[in-house]
Structure 1
């Protein structure tokens, strides 16, 4: 009888563990959203683009990085590209992905376009002078450090923020994700943000 009770309890635990509970939001929601500054950078076609006025889709996902980044940038960009592929066509049409360079000395329009095309030809790349990029990142709590050329010929960029922002159609950053967010987590959270009233 005791074995039967233990067996029933175990079956109950397994059943509760397999139930389809709704997934929680993986990113961090911003209780006090950051307002994007209306400062124009230049996209890969040479046109002006401002996070403070041109983010008119329901959601714009923004990452600041650089094309020569050896670690976090390609990881985040791969996950964003895979996340976009996970979305259905309706969600995908409602989202832009924007990559803002933190290394404009090397990331001109063509370099950015070539880099982003490896991930998704619809991704938007932005460049400009470094001071302007710093001004764009500042109100979004994005840290961008001026690069220093090393004797080897490379650059020590001193670091940049590695989180990804979700900006809504009011040009406010309403959520963010860290650099370890998976493509599945990005996709689920993006869908959640798009379907909330």
Structure 2
């Protein structure tokens, strides 16, 4: 296709085709982003950067978010409380397996970050994926999804109101979205990842955090 700068004046047909192509690309981009997070929804780390981020790449929470002691169910059917789990550091993300884009990107970032840790560091970290779509994310579905990333990752499900109760103190917004032509539906949710020690979320990473930056922060949290 010739460059737009070389098209002769009056090439109206080509210009109309170009405008239609741009419109289609923009429409696809909007559709892809609609399922995981939205700029209309609260951002879990908005306004919290402060003047001293303590050397972290993510956002250090000077006032930690307190994780409620609520029990969900892991993929083996066992009860699991995020607040009471004994792992020294839990890396927590709320998402769903049918998310069209962002969830997979974020979870891949987490998997890559964890793979950069030394064995003794990795043993002190537990990655926890909390579904925002328990109606479709059954325990087997969650397990299959997480096994593709790392079999050690924990998947949690439960009744949606209980998941929302767990998410609210972390400023994670969850809402079932519009039904899609395919018959499915989107789930709108914020997309931050949290570093949780005990029952306190101490650090939050945005969806654009690189694996190397997240790995460096995890190591720093383990040392603190």
**TM superposition score normalised by structure 1:** 0.83
The SS at the match of 2:72 is strand
Residue of structure 2 in register with 1:25 after alignment = 56
Tell me which stretches of 4 or more aligned residues in structure 1 moved more than 3 Å: 147-152
Alignment match, 1:15: none
Gap regions ≥5 residues in structure 2: 1-53
What is the rounded CA distance, in whole Å, between the counterparts of 2:158 and 2:181 in structure 1? Answer: 25
- Please give the root-mean-square deviation of Cα atoms over the aligned residues, in Å: 1.4
Residues matched between the structures, number: 171
Indicate if the aligned counterparts of 2:176 and 2:185 stay in contact, CA closer than 8 A.
Answer: no
* TM-superposed deviation, 1:146: 2.8
Is the contact made by 1:103 and 1:147 (CA closer than 8 Å) also made in structure 2?
Answer: no
- Which residue pairs with 2:210 in the alignment? 182
Partner of 1:58: 88
TM-score by length of 2: 0.74
- Structure 1 unaligned regions, length at least 5: 1-22
1:77 aligns with one of 80, 104, 107:
107
Q: Counterparts of 1:61 and 1:165 in 2: how far apart (Å)?
A: 6
Provide the C-alpha distance between the structure 2 equivalents of 1:28 and 1:103, rounded to a whole number of angstroms. Answer: 27
Question: Helix, strand or coil: the match of 2:142?
Answer: helix
Q: How far apart are 1:148 and its partner, in Å?
A: 4.5
CA distance in 2, matches of 1:99, 1:160: 13
- The whole-number CA distance in structure 1 between the counterparts of 2:89 and 2:113 is 14
